Structures are given as C-alpha cells and as structure tokens.
C-alpha cells in the first residue's frame, strides 16, 4: 500500500482497540475478527475471499484429516497455499493485502500440525488468528500458540496501554515523517550530487539510502502494529532488534525482520540441515526462500545468493576483525555496504530489481 492507503488502514486498525474493550470478553476477538473482515472487504475484496478460504479450509481440513493422511493433507494444503501466493502475484490488477504474511502463518499452522506440535485449530480460533487486523498488511508473522496464550492472559493494564500508545506514535513518526517525507526528500535531493559518481558507485549509494528508508518504513509499520496490539492488551512477537547495531551480516539477520528469519530457520534451515548435514545448503535455501518471499524474480534469486555469500564470509572471519569500539563503529557500516552492494553488483550483469 502507498502511504495514503496505509494511513487509511491505520485509522481503521485503531478502531480494533475500543472494539476489543467494549465488547464482552468472551466475544471481544470475534468482534475484532468481524471488523477486520469488513476492513479487508473495503480495502481489497479479493483478499477477503483468499484469506477467508484459508481460515476456513485450514481449520476444517486439518480437523477432519485422519492420522494416516497427515502427510498427504499437509502437502495438499502447502501446494495450494504457495500456488495461491504465486497466482496472486501474477495478477497485479488486484490490490492484494498482506498475502505473503498470512500465507506463512497458514504454512506455520499446517506444518506444526503435521509435526504433531500443534493441534488442529477450531474454526473460531482460526478466524480470530487470521483476521486480526493490526498484523494483516505488514506483519509481524505471529504464531498461533503465542497468539492464543495472549488472548487467554489478556487483562486491562494502564501502563501497557500507555506503552502501546507511545509505540504507535513512534511508528507513525518512523513511517509517515521520516520515511514518507524525510527519506523521500533525501533520496530525491541526493540524485543530483550522486550523479557525478561512476554508475556503480551511484547505484550503490542510492541502494544504501533505500535500505535506510526501508528500515524506517518497515520498522514504523511494525511499531504501529505492535503498538495497537499492546493497547488491545496483547504482546506479540518482535520484528526488529536494533539491526543497525549488528557487527556482521550473521548478526544483522538475527535482528532484522526476526519473525520471518525465525520462520525460515524453523521450517527451511533446520529441516534441510537435519536432512543433508550441510549447513551451507540450509543457508542457501533459507535465503532463497526469503528472497522469493519478497518477489518471484531472478533478481531476488541472485540477491539471496549474494546475501548468503556475505553470511558465509562473516562466519569465516568471525573473531579475526577489529574488536571493541572500533568493531562497534565499523561493523554496521560494513553490513550496510554489503547489503546495498547487491543492487549495483547485479546491475553489472544486467539483472535489475
């Protein structure tokens, strides 16, 4: 969504706060789910159909599947979930809302059920989980067991509400002021002076600015979502942990979009390493999933290999570089340099974003 559309969403998502406290406790999150469905219908009717089918089908198919058919049912559901995401991205005429995020939530429920670590959710649990408006468009990729626990433990707490409001305001400043206004101006004004540089360095510098802009936009939307959920009385999973304090790429990817990183670690990296006993293969496939999760394109395939190479190099030189304050100062700059170098490097071989 562009900034204007997202601002409309934010106001609608804020209404989940009074709804959650005004409706009797037993039905509060049924009302939140209903309001979420209405908002999704207003913003993107195709998304309502897609998300509604996921919520209903995942619950009913997992509940009715016999134990002997777990593997087949899991494969069938995963096929349609991934196929649905691919099909949705091939139809750009529709304004899809959060498909990449709720697809991973549905895969989490399905795969954990297959592994026997999660019982099949009831229809009510599924609707409450998938139709929770604050996290639909941009995450975090929260998980069902934690969400259900938070619903059971929810109670009114004024300091928590105040913390949520403060976090919401911080997110609004990040997203609308710094990213939507400040960074847009910085990038547009930087185009002139950077134009005197060789093309490779110009693209590299603009790519670095884009990464900084992305942080404020994405961290801002995360703060908004988690701020609203705190005002509702829920504490969901964090998505960022000071990523620009990372001393190397390995450290960075444990701090940036943490719910996606943990999802890939649990459902891609660890199973592949357990199967092959080769961490490098697990790393390559995990980063490939992260790349393709952003977009199905050659650029993101090669981007995944570039980031994997950076992580491998970070592991090889770990403990051999500078330490102390020097490492604290140089590390984040090196991380930003490597991340942003992907675009000019791939541009050299004719692959653009």
Query: What integer pLDDT is reported at residue 325 of this predicted model?
Result: 67
**What span, in angstroms and rounded, lies between the C-alpha atoms of 10 and 96?**
17
Contact between residue 109 and residue 144 where contact means Cβ atoms under 8 Å apart: yes
Q: pLDDT of 91-145, one tens digit each? A: 766 778 899 999 999 999 999 999 999 999 999 999 999 999 999 999 899 999 9
* Residue 219 backbone phi and psi in degrees, to 5: -65, -35
| Residue 23: predicted pLDDT | 96
| pLDDT of 192 | 72
| DSSP type of residue 182 | I
Lowest mean pLDDT among 262-276, 278-292, 306-320: 306-320
Mean pLDDT score, 78-91? 90
Contact 165, 127 (CB under 8 A): no
Residues ≥6 apart with Cβ < 8 Å to 155: 233
- pLDDT at position 3, please? 42
224: pLDDT strictly greater than 50: yes
Q: Are 112 and 18 in contact (CB under 8 A)?
A: no
The pTM score is 0.93
Counting residues of the chain whose pLDDT is more than 90, the rounded percentage is: 76
- What's the distance, Cα to Cα, between the start and end of the chain in Å? 19
Mean pLDDT of 310-332: 77
> How many C-beta neighbours within 10 Å does residue 123 have?
13
**Is a pLDDT exceeding 50 seen at residue 4?**
no
162-201 per-position pLDDT tens digit: 999 999 999 999 999 999 888 888 887 777 777 778 889 9
Q: What average pLDDT does the chain have? A: 91
pLDDT in the model for residue 316: 86
Q: What value does the mean pLDDT take over residues 151-165? A: 96
Average pLDDT over residues 5-14: 89
Could you tell me the residue ranges of all domains in the chain?
A: 3-153, 158-232, 243-348
Compare 238 and 95 and report the one with higher pLDDT.
Answer: 238
HEC string of 276-294 equals: HCCHHHHHHHHHHHHHHHH
Residue 297, both tokens? 């394109």
Report residue 291 as tokens: 């790349």
């Amino acid at each position: 969504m562009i900034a204007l559309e997202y601002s409309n969403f934010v106001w609608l998502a804020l209404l989940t706060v009074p709804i959650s406290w005004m409706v009797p406790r037993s039905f509060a999150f049924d009302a939140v789910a209903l309001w979420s469905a209405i908002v999704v219908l207003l913003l993107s009717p195709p998304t309502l159909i897609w998300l509604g089918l996921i919520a209903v089908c995942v619950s009913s198919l997992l509940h009715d599947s016999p134990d002997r058919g777990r593997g087949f049912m899991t494969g069938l559901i995963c096929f349609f979930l991934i196929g649905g995401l691919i099909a949705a991205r091939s139809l750009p005429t529709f304004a899809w809302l959060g498909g990449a995020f709720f697809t991973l939530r549905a895969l989490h429920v399905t795969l954990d059920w297959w592994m026997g670590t999660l019982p099949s959710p009831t229809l009510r649990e599924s609707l409450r989980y998938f139709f929770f408006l604050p996290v639909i468009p941009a995450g975090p990729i929260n998980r069902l067991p934690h969400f259900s626990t938070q619903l059971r433990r929810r109670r009114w707490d004024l300091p928590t509400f105040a913390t949520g409001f403060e976090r919401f305001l911080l997110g609004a400043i990040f997203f609308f002021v710094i990213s939507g206004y400040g960074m847009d101006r910085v990038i547009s004004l930087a185009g002139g002076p950077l134009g005197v540089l060789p093309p490779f360095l110009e693209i590299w510098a603009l790519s670095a600015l884009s990464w900084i802009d992305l942080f404020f936009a994405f961290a801002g939307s995360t703060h908004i979502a988690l701020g609203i959920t705190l005002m509702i009385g829920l504490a969901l999973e964090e998505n960022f942990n000071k990523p620009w304090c990372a001393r190397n790429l390995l450290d960075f990817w444990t701090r940036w979009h943490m719910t996606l990183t943990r999802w890939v670690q649990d459902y891609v990296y660890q199973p592949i390493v357990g199967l092959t006993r080769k961490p490098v293969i697990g790393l390559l496939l995990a980063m490939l999933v992260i790349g393709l999760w952003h977009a199905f394109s050659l650029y993101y395939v090669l981007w995944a290999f570039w980031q994997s190479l950076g992580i491998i190099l970070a592991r090889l030189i770990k403990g051999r570089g500078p330490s102390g304050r020097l490492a604290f100062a140089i590390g984040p700059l090196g991380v930003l340099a490597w991340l942003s170098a992907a675009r000019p490097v791939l541009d050299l071989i004719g692959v653009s974003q």
